[in-house]
Amino acid sequence: MNIAIVCYPTFGGSGVLATELGKALADKGHNVHFITYQQPVRLNGFFANIYYHEVRVPTYPLFDFPPYETALASAMVDVVQNHDIDLLHVHYAIPHASSAYLAKKILEKQNKNIPVITTLHGTDITLVGKDKTYSPVVTFSMEESDVLTAVSENLKSETYKNFEISKEVEVIHNFVDVARFHKKPIEAFKSLIAPKGEKIIVHASNFRPVKRVDDVIKTYLLINEKIPSKLLLIGDGPERPVLESYSRKLACHNDIRFLGKQEQMEDILPIADLFLLPSEYESFGLAALEAMAAEVPVISTNAGGLPEIIIDGYCGYMSNIGDTQNMAENALKILSDDTIHHSFKLNALHQAEKFDIHNIIPKYEALYKRVIS
Ligand code: GMT
């Protein structure tokens, strides 16, 4: 099949998932065309049957806001016309679903029917999309997609709760390439971070308020009172400057490292003893799944779709939003006993295997065959 994938090219979960999906489809012999405004971060390396089409948005003195949505729709039309594309798969509804609708209508005029699949990822429904600035367009373009998918059951019910749509939402859970993350820790790296054998605690996100990164630090401080540990904060975003100056004032500021955006998560995660994800909401929590694939137990909230991937008391623990005391107590239950820690690590891997790439990609392929036929 010739598949066009539209996504955000950045470190956000939707872009990561879309890029990994495209790479996996290409591995299976499909031709995959990415249409984005920048090379996707996880598209690193040469792939013979992957094509990248950059959306260019020329500026003009009249444009205070260059019309990206129009440029994207035109890029979709061009790629479909010139590469014999069978379907358009757009990730994150805003503005990709409405651009896809426009492209579909333009192509219809040329007697080309192009099926559109929209995959909802999270904040396109729960935060940004439901705002009245966007909701009429999001509602309309979801209805007009040939197929709507959501990355968790929770996101499916959030979609029905927040939007009046009659369209069926199909759930295809996110996935992880377990083989890529399940690696031996790089010992030199580990002893550089934790020279005295301290525990290593990791958090990765886009540092937005929904991630509650301050709760990561609060939980870490409580853990560190009992078990000497180091905290690695991966990613970047609006909350980072405040958190960085807050942590500089702490007595243990040398134990907290802000690593910024990192491409090689598969090298960092295996050195971790625990992953913290105290989010206000996660439609799925791809970052937690990647940690589990690296044999890292997860301490998280019980928000959104997290209970669909984490089994409480088995591969991690879930607490109520903001209950950092409970999160720290749970973390200590795992970290203070090597035997317990070891079994949580194995359970985390076992749980991640249920969402392995090889189990999920066939679901997308079956969906593609269905919409094409
Ligand atoms: O919140 C993020 O990390 C970014 C956002 C995105 O769309 O890029 O992530 C959402 O999609 C991910 C992939 O499907 C999910 O794993 C995240 O849970 C989801 N984020 C939220 O729902 C807040």
Look up the CATH number of the domain holding residue 70.
3.40.50.2000
Q: What local confidence, expressed as pLDDT, does residue 131 receive?
A: 83
Q: Which residues of 255-275 are buried (b: 16+ CB within 10 A; e: fewer)?
A: bbeeeeebeebbebbbbbbbb
- Please indicate, yes or no, whether residues 286 and 330 belong to a single structural domain of this protein: yes
User: Would the pLDDT of 11 be above 80?
Assistant: no
- Please indicate, yes or no, whether residues 73 and 56 belong to a single structural domain of this protein: yes
- Please indicate, yes or no, whether residues 255 and 346 belong to a single structural domain of this protein: yes
State the Cα–Cα distance between residues 236 and 242, nearest whole angstrom: 12
Query: Residue 84 burial by CB count (10 A; 0-12/13-18/19+): exposed, middle or buried?
Result: exposed
Render pLDDT for 297-336 as a digit per residue (tens, 0 to 9): 999 999 999 999 999 999 999 999 999 999 999 999 999 9
State the Cα–Cα distance between residues 261 and 11, nearest whole angstrom: 8
Query: Residue 116 burial by CB count (10 A; 0-12/13-18/19+): exposed, middle or buried?
Result: buried
State the Cα–Cα distance between residues 53 and 372, nearest whole angstrom: 22
Render pLDDT for 214-226 as a digit per residue (tens, 0 to 9): 999 999 999 999 9
For the chain, the domain total comes to 2
Render pLDDT for 161-190 as a digit per residue (tens, 0 to 9): 999 999 999 999 999 999 999 999 989 999
- Specify the amino acid at residue 323: D
- Please indicate, yes or no, whether residues 29 and 171 belong to a single structural domain of this protein: yes
- Please indicate, yes or no, whether residues 34 and 131 belong to a single structural domain of this protein: yes
State the Cα–Cα distance between residues 11 and 40, nearest whole angstrom: 8
Distance 225 CA to ligand 1 centre (A): 32
**What are the pocket residues of ligand 1 if the criterion is a CB atom closer than 6 Å to any ligand atom?**
12-15, 17, 92, 121-123, 151, 174, 205-206, 210, 281-286
Q: What local confidence, expressed as pLDDT, does residue 329 receive?
A: 98
- Please indicate, yes or no, whether residues 144 and 214 belong to a single structural domain of this protein: no
Distance 83 CA to ligand 1 centre (A): 30
Q: What local confidence, expressed as pLDDT, does residue 128 receive?
A: 77
Name the residue of 11, 14, 210 whose CB sits within 8 Å of the most ligand 1 atoms, as the mutation to test its pocket.
14
- Please indicate, yes or no, whether residues 152 and 289 belong to a single structural domain of this protein: no
The residue range of the domain holding 19 is 2-175+356-372
Q: What local confidence, expressed as pLDDT, does residue 10 receive?
A: 85
Using DSSP bridges, classify how beta strands 274-277 and 199-204 pair: parallel, antiparallel or unpaired: parallel
Q: What local confidence, expressed as pLDDT, does residue 37 receive?
A: 96
pTM summary value: 0.94
- Please indicate, yes or no, whether residues 70 and 117 belong to a single structural domain of this protein: yes
E-assigned strands of the chain? Answer: 2-6, 31-36, 50-54, 87-91, 116-120, 147-150, 169-171, 199-204, 229-234, 256-260, 274-277, 298-301, 316-319
- Please indicate, yes or no, whether residues 288 and 362 belong to a single structural domain of this protein: no
- Please indicate, yes or no, whether residues 205 and 250 belong to a single structural domain of this protein: yes
- Please indicate, yes or no, whether residues 198 and 167 belong to a single structural domain of this protein: no
Render pLDDT for 355-371 as a digit per residue (tens, 0 to 9): 999 999 999 999 999 99
Q: For 123-127, what is the mean pLDDT?
A: 87
- Please indicate, yes or no, whether residues 213 and 157 belong to a single structural domain of this protein: no
Residue located nearest, by CA, to atom 7 of ligand 1: 14
